[in-house]
Amino acid sequence: MPDAILSALLFQAGYNAALVAIGSALLGIAAGAGGTFLFLRKRALISDAVAHATLPGIGLAFIAMVALGGDGRNLVGLLAGSAVSAAVGLLLVDWIVRHTRLAEDVAIGAILSVFFGLGIVLLTVIQTMSSGRQAGLEGFLLGSTAGMLRQDALVIAVGGALALAVLVLLRRPMTLVAFDPGYAAARGVRVQAVDLAMMGLVLAVTVIGLKVVGLILIVAMLIIPPVTARLWSERTDTVVAVAGVLGGLAGYLGAAISASAPNLPTGPIIVLVSFSLFCFSLLMAPSRGVLAAAVRHRRFQRRVHRRQGLLALARNEPILDPLTLKVLRRDGLIRPDKVATDAGRARAAKALRDERRWEVARRMHQDEGASGRYDGLTSIETVLTPDEIAAIDAEIGAPRLAGQGAN
């Protein structure tokens, strides 16, 4: 099995496997990067409505192509049909939100289920048609890469490249609209048009992804990589890039793994790989990860104990808590006999002054209680601007070092 995966990774598992791996990787990049703007605009779920709304279009395109005497399985024709019906679904969601009292989540639920239901009815009808038995349209539900052709991979490559080009071109307006739509409108950006372009991007990714992962799971490729990338970065451009890389990696790895054994479905494996990357990131990411949070909590606890100990030293109070004593001794602030060292006395005086400043700061900035940085433990210089501190010091009076710890 490991050998099989390795050979698939190195494009040595056969022509079809290599095509699928390349196609999946390209799709993953476009979906991850494109999905990021949807995620930042807080409209991720609308991609699910778009995906499900493709199904009637696939059915109708098949019927139309057969009726015109052509091959109903022509991929470009089927995708064109799916794009049209997805666009109709998208515009209906938009219309419902704009012109009725229904909220977007309700509109999404309604469009998603009705279009999917209609699509399933059409597929059943096609099953009864003489030319419909081998149509294999069910493959679009969960993706089917077994019979993937060179031209299918080409469709994905061209579609993905176009989607990425649009994304690069519109990255600034899309970022602006996602962050602050009111300001964007005030600058003359047509917010509705940018939103529509964003949706068009998602629609394009969804349509070209139908063959690989299918309409039920494409949502995962649009949402999981951006959420994962957000764990790693605090900058929009980086989040977009990382999401593209993670999406591409998941597509490539997933395709390789599914090629390594018979009957492993490509789409679901890609989604599982993507989810594994998410789990890893959730644990390991710096600053936003779970482990980092645990470490931060432990450091915070020690900071609390250090501050309590220093204030006790400044006020000449006895220290009883064993952890406080341990922290102070490790930092060289007290001697083993619990008497403050020179460094300890200096730090204690500073702590007392900081405490006073925080007291005033909390009074002057009452609305900031929730922001979490007004904990009174963070060094005040890193939280407030110099003029804010000056205002506080003016309130406290001349900087005199009060308390027993002062020298």
Partner 1 sequence: MSAPKLELAAKDGARAPSPTEIANASLALSEITVSYGEKPAVFSVDAALPRESMVAIIGPNGAGKSTLLKAALGIVPRLSGSVRVFGQEIERARDRVAYVPQRASVDWDFPTRVIDVVLMGLYRELGLLRFVRKAHRERARACLERVGMADFAERQIGQLSGGQQQRVFLARALAQDADLYLLDEPFAGVDAATEKAIIDVLHTLKAARKTVVCVHHDLATVVDYFDHVLLINVRKIAEGPTATTFTSDNLQATYGGRLASTHIDQLKLSS
Residues that bind partner 1 (CB under 8 A): 40, 42, 168-170, 172-173, 175-176, 178-180, 182-183, 185-189, 230, 233-236, 238-239, 364-365, 367-368, 371, 373-374, 383-388, 390-391
Distances (CA, A) of 59 to 47, 64, 71, 116, 120: 20, 9, 13, 11, 8
φ, ψ of residue 265 to 5 degrees: the values are -70, 135
Cβ of residue 369: shortest distance to partner 1, in angstroms?
Answer: 11
**Between 337 and 367, whose beta carbon lies closer to partner 1?**
367
Tell me if 54 sits within 8 A of 122, measured CB to CB. Answer: no
Distance CA 65, CA 129 (A): 13
Cα–Cα distance for residue pair 289/326, rounded to 1 Å: 28
Nearer to partner 1, 77 or 173 (CB): 173
Sign of CA dihedral 119, 124, 126, 131: positive
Instruction: Dig out the tokens for 53 from the structure.
Output: 């709304």
Least distance in angstroms from the C-beta of 33 to partner 1: 14
Residue (109 or 289) nearer to partner 1, CB: 289
First to last CA, the chain: 72
Question: In the structure, how many helices (H) and strands (E) does the chain have?
Answer: 19, 0
Work out how close the CB of 172 gets to partner 1 at its nearest, in angstroms, rounded to a whole number. Answer: 6
317 or 368: whose CB is closer to partner 1? 368
Q: Is 75 exposed, middle or buried (0-12, 13-18, 19+ CB in 10 A)?
A: middle
- Considering the complex, state which of residue 73 and residue 365 has its C-beta at the smaller distance from partner 1: 365
Please identify which residue in the block is written with the tokens 């409209």: 43
The nearest distance, CB 192 to partner 1, in angstroms, is 11
Least distance CB 271 / partner 1 (angstroms): 24
Q: Which is nearer to partner 1, 146 or 364 (CB)?
A: 364
SS3 for 53? coil
Q: Report the alpha-carbon distance of residue 249 to residue 243 in Å, rounded.
A: 10
Pick between residue 32 and residue 119 the one whose CB is nearest to partner 1: 32
| Least gap, CB of 126 to partner 1 (angstroms) | 44
The amino acid at residue 381 is E
Q: Give the nearest distance from C-beta 181 to partner 1 in angstroms.
A: 8
Q: Give the whole-angstrom CA distance, residue 339 versus residue 334.
A: 5
